[in-house]
Amino acid sequence: MKGKAIGYALWLGAGFGLGEAALVVLDQVLSIVAGVEFRLDVGLLSIYERLMAILYHVLSSALLCYFYARGKGARVYMVIATIHSLVNYQAILLMRVFGLNLLALIPVYSTITVVNLSMFIVCWRRMSPWLKADMYSTA
């Protein structure tokens, strides 16, 4: 992302998020073709989860661009990658232990929502003055 504007980072993050979303949709379509049925509530939760995943990737790319421009890209990348792994693995662990029920879904989706809200607040507080000062400068 060296020498790229913040808009590039936002679109890059959206691309990663949409790529993951496309793989999940493809997996669900193939499951339906194979004869596996899904409950409506699971489908709606999947939509919410994919929207949160896209938002996570957009926010994490924006933060990475911002901190990379300040010489802290490697440290922030490690934090972002660790958060991504923890969110993924806690979801897998809870659903493996409790199954696809409310005991697993509430903590999983609560965690995803809190992580995204936290990242949004960090982006807003850190990047808002930066964007206002020089919206189209390169990072």
Where do the structural domains in the chain lie, given as residue ranges? 6-133
Question: pTM (2 decimals)?
Answer: 0.71
Q: How far apart are CA 77 and CA 59, in angstroms?
A: 12
Written as six digits, the tokens of 74 are: 């490697």
At CA 56, angle to CA 55 and CA 61, rounded to 5? 100
Q: What's the pLDDT score for residue 137?
A: 55
- Residue 38 contacts residue 28 (beta carbons within 8 Å): yes
User: pLDDT (tens digit, 9 = 90+) per residue, 17-66?
Assistant: 788 778 877 877 887 788 877 776 777 777 788 888 888 888 998 888 88
- Residue 115 contacts residue 108 (beta carbons within 8 Å): no
Q: Indicate whether 93 pLDDT > 90.
A: no
Q: Indicate whether 91 pLDDT > 60.
A: yes
